[in-house]
């Protein structure tokens, strides 16, 4: 049987269809690639040189400073722009579970634990000179508390000192003095705070017997607390960061990979893409719309640091708007 030969016009038509099909496939592949990218907002970055848990991070001039943790004095600085780490001057007092906050470009490392006692120690770090200075002690020695800054005042909230605390104390770096404030309604440690529009949101934590999903908002202007919508999962030892007025709660025990976003404007929570490396006792900081989840412990009650100081970047602009 003779093979049918396509006429030139038919061959041209087929070539056009094949070409169009190829272009459509390339386009679809491109869209698929874009879609996959949009659904994959987490990227692994250079490991922190010193693996640790129960430490604190703060940002000055787009550089993240990882301070203390696992009863050490180590300070290491991460530059997201170059994806590199640099060793800095050790903190004078080695400690675990301190809290750090920034006022006028100075990082204040407050409280913590030394395996033998709870600390009230306050030390100030100047990244410009790579030096530390002793400051007035916090009135209540404690660890596993959280600090946040509103109008240049640092608020030290809750924490642990043989039992869960509800204590709130405010530190004014300008006068190097502390002032007692209204107690947080729910006693707890292992929680996290973040600030949106001058209001401090205290989220989750542990009271010694129960893990909390509790959210309470503190207004420094009126020295009052207000109950807010609970987070979806009760957890402890997670970290929060703010991007575009939304608070992201990352990791934590025992839902170690979960990420949830809280919008104070609507008092609602939304599920976000899981963090690739499940962990708790980590610290997270935001730089230029990206959140960096750093270090931490694996999913065990021992709180032993991860084998590596894992750092993963979460880009909210690549993330889908909503997950089911």
Residue 8 CA to chain centroid, in angstroms? 64
Which carries the bigger pLDDT value, residue 3 or residue 176? 176
User: pLDDT for 212-245, tens place per residue?
Assistant: 999 999 999 999 999 999 999 999 999 999 999 9
Task: Please report where in the chains the tokens 């989750």 appear, as a residue.
Answer: 204
State residue 183's pLDDT score.
Answer: 98
Tell me which residue of 172, 169, 206, 209 sits closest to 191, measured CA to CA.
206
- Rounded Cα gap, residues 322 and 324, in angstroms: 7
What's the token pair of residue 153? 């005042």
What's the token pair of residue 224? 């009052």
Strand partners, 291: 286, 314
Q: Are 265 and 215 in contact (CB under 8 A)?
A: no
Which carries the bigger pLDDT value, residue 252 or residue 302? 252
Q: What is the pTM of this model?
A: 0.87
State residue 301's pLDDT score.
Answer: 65
All structural domains of the chain, each given as residue ranges with its CATH number in brackets, are 42-315 (2.120.10.80)
The highest-confidence range among 12-26, 103-117, 299-313, by mean pLDDT, is: 103-117
If 0-12 CB within 10 Å is exposed, 13-18 middle and 19+ buried, where does residue 222 land? Answer: exposed
State residue 211's pLDDT score.
Answer: 97
For the segment 99-118, the average pLDDT, to the nearest whole number, is: 98
State residue 218's pLDDT score.
Answer: 99
Q: Phi, psi (5° rounding) for residue 302? A: -70, -30
Task: Please report where in the chains the tokens 């908002």 appear, as a residue.
Answer: 217
User: pLDDT for 8-39, tens place per residue?
Assistant: 333 332 322 333 333 333 333 343 333 334 56
Question: What is the DSSP code (8-state) at residue 4?
Answer: P
Per-residue pLDDT for 142 more than 60? yes
Residue 236 CA to chain centroid, in angstroms? 13
227: left (phi > 0), else alpha (psi -120 to 50), else beta? beta
For the segment 41-58, the average pLDDT, to the nearest whole number, is: 97
């Amino acid at each position: 049987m003779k093979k049918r030969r396509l006429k030139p016009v038919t061959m041209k038509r087929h070539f056009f269809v094949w070409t169009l099909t190829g272009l459509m496939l390339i386009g679809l592949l491109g869209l698929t690639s874009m879609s996959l990218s949009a659904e994959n907002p987490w990227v692994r970055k250079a490991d922190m040189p010193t693996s640790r848990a129960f430490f604190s991070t703060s940002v000055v001039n787009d550089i993240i400073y990882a301070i203390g943790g696992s009863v050490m004095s180590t300070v290491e600085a991460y530059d997201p722009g170059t994806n590199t780490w640099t060793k800095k001057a050790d903190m004078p007092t080695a400690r675990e579970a301190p809290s750090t906050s920034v006022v006028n470009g100075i990082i204040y490392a407050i409280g913590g634990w030394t395996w033998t006692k709870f600390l009230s120690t306050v030390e100030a770090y100047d990244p410009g000179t790579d030096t530390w200075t002793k400051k007035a002690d916090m009135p209540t020695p404690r660890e596993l508390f959280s600090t946040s800054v509103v109008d240049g005042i640092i608020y030290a909230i809750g924490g642990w000192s043989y039992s869960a605390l509800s204590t709130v104390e405010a530190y004014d770096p300008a006068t190097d003095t502390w002032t007692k404030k209204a107690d947080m309604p729910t006693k707890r440690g292992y929680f996290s705070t973040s600030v949106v529009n001058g209001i401090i949101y205290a989220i989750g934590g542990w009271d010694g017997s129960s893990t909390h999903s509790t959210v309470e908002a503190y207004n420094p202007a009126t020295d009052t607390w207000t109950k807010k919508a609970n987070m979806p999962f009760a957890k402890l030892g997670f970290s929060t960061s703010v991007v575009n007025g939304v608070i992201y709660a990352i990791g934590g025990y025992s839902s170690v990979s979960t990420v949830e976003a809280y919008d104070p404007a609507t008092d609602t929570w939304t599920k976000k893409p899981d963090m690739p490396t499940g962990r708790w006792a980590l610290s997270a900081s935001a730089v230029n719309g990206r959140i960096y989840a750093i270090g931490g412990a694996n999913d065990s009650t021992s709180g032993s640091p991860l084998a590596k100081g894992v750092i993963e970047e979460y880009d909210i602009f690549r993330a889908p708007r909503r997950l089911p």
